[in-house]
Structure 1
Amino acid sequence: MPKLSGVIITFNEERNIEKCLQSLAGVVDEIVVVDSFSTDKTKAICEQYNVKFVEQKFLGYIEQKNFALGEATYNHVVSLDGDEALSKKLQASIKLLKTTWTLDGYYANRYNNFCGQWIKHSDWYPNKKLRVFDKRKAQWQGINPHDNVQLHDTASEAGHLKGDILHWTYQSYKEMDEKTDYFSTIAAKAYLDKGKTAPIWKLIWNPSWAFFKAYFLRLGFLDGLNGYRICYQTGKITYLKYYKLRELYKALRAS
């Protein structure tokens, strides 16, 4: 019967961290929180629970999450962000795994709350995520800030759990706009490091396709005004990361 570590990274998550901790309590055998020196009440809230609290300067989303895996005592982990929590059904599914774990990892659908509305369409649902896994068989990869857990071996097997990861994302349009600017800057720098290019056609085609796919093909319009805002943001962040990548190349050529 495997023991489970709940692993969380945080920075200024006082709004959501208690929901996250409460959902893990009684499901996992330890909770590890790796915090990037929060300046709000995150640490004080965590100290009210039986957690291993580690402070670590932010290394990058992928790097920070892999560092957090290294702090976990047990090999079988449930990895969450500070603004996520397990639904009741997902809690039950993970508890059942303690006697039925046979695969290398398990996916769960992520259900996103935007400005108080649970979003059921576009790219935001079912938004499948591999978050329950054997850390010897998987790690965080991707291009910052778009991290994801990937199994090491193509022959590895993963299942799918019943229940949702509840995600409290942007709770205002202003917050969404600020994060869009922030994340697109990180993505542009990561693209530059990887040698990706930004021809003019990518500034036109990629954002247009991202919006069309999310709004029409994945039925984002069914979520009303907030559905439109989400799909518009999907196109906007795609445009901004390529625009900023072009600006970075211009700066390099000028230096």
Structure 2
Amino acid sequence: MLKLSGVIITFNEERNIEKCLQSLENVVDEIVVVDSFSTDNTKAICKRYNVKFVEQNFLGYIEQKNFALSQASYNHIVSLDGDESLSKILQESILDLKSNWTFDGYYANRFNNFCGQWIKHSDWYPNKKLRVFDRRKAEWKGINPHDNVQLHNTSSNIGHLKGDILHLTYQSYLEFSEKTDYFSTIAAKAYYSSGKRASIWNLIWNPSWAFFKSYVIRLGILDGKNGFIICKETGRITYLKYLKLRDLQKKDKENS
């Protein structure tokens, strides 16, 4: 029977980390927490559980998660963020894998809670994530802060597990707005470093399409007021990352 490592990265997750750990403790054979020197009670809460607690200065989302993978004792990984947990059904699905691991990796749907409401539409559900995988055959990639697990062999077959990753997202509109500003800055810098550039057309079309797609095509309208807020912020973060990218382009041109 194979053994599983639960791997988590954290920074100031005292609000959610206990639910995350409780959902993992009877499923995996070890829990590894890589913490970016939290200033709240995250470390104290983790120490109440049987975890391997590693402190590491934040390297970037992709880099930090790949570092966390390297700290695990076992190759078969269940990867969560500190504000995520496994539903009961997903716990049972993962336990079954210990005696019946077939694929190189497994998707699970992520179910997002926003301001106390479980969001069932827009781009937020089913928010399919590859979070159970063999680390020898996969790694975290993408463009920060949009990290995702990618298998080395693109033709690999991937399974889909029953149950949900329960994600406790923003619990106030102000928190959501502040994170939109924060993540758009990271995304703009990552785009710029990768050589991507933005035009005026990107400022007009991309945010409009992002809102329309999530609110109309993917039925965010059915989630009521919070659905509108989510889709509006989807459009706003798209606008801000291209606006900030254009600012970086302008500064580079002025300094050249």
TM-score range (shorter-chain normalised) is: over 0.9
Letter paired with 1:215: Y
Q: Deviations over 1:75-127 (max 9, x none)?
A: 00000000000000000000000011011000000000000000000000000
Secondary structure of 1:26 counterpart: coil
Tell me the TM-score normalised to structure 2 length. Answer: 0.99
Q: How does 1:220-239 map to 2 (within 5 A)?
A: 220-239=220-239
Look up the match of 1:105. 105
1:155 offset after TM fit, Å? 2.2
Letter paired with 2:230: I
Look up the match of 1:169. 169
Tell me the TM-score normalised to structure 1 length. Answer: 0.99
Structure 1 stretches lacking a partner, 5+ long: none
Q: How does 1:139-218 map to 2 (within 5 A)?
A: 139-218=139-218
Matched, 1:43 2:55: no
Matched, 1:68 2:68: yes
Whole-angstrom distance in 2 between the partners of 1:237 and 1:16 = 25
Letter paired with 1:52: K
Whole-angstrom distance in 2 between the partners of 1:191 and 1:7 = 27
1:156 offset after TM fit, Å? 1.3
1:254 offset after TM fit, Å? 1.3
**Number of equivalent positions:** 255
Look up the match of 2:138. 138
Q: Deviations over 1:15-69 (max 9, x none)?
A: 0000000000110000000000000000000000000000000000000000000
Whole-angstrom distance in 2 between the partners of 1:103 and 1:163 = 17
Whole-angstrom distance in 1 between the partners of 2:26 and 2:15 = 22
Whole-angstrom distance in 1 between the partners of 2:94 and 2:226 = 32
User: Structure 1 segments of 4 or more deviating over 2 A?
Assistant: none
Whole-angstrom distance in 2 between the partners of 1:24 and 1:194 = 36
1:252 offset after TM fit, Å? 1.1
Q: Deviations over 1:132-185 (max 9, x none)?
A: 000001010000000000000022111000000000000000000100000000
Whole-angstrom distance in 1 between the partners of 2:239 and 2:54 = 36
Secondary structure of 2:12 counterpart: coil
Secondary structure of 2:99 counterpart: helix
Structure 2 stretches lacking a partner, 5+ long: none
Letter paired with 2:213: K
Matched, 1:14 2:11: no
Secondary structure of 1:54 counterpart: strand
Matched, 1:79 2:84: no
Whole-angstrom distance in 1 between the partners of 2:155 and 2:185 = 35
Look up the match of 1:244. 244
Letter paired with 2:105: G
Whole-angstrom distance in 1 between the partners of 2:15 and 2:204 = 37
Whole-angstrom distance in 1 between the partners of 2:28 and 2:191 = 36
Look up the match of 2:55. 55
Look up the match of 2:122. 122
Q: Which sits farther off after the overlay, 147-156 or 160-169? A: 147-156
Whole-angstrom distance in 2 between the partners of 1:243 and 1:249 = 10
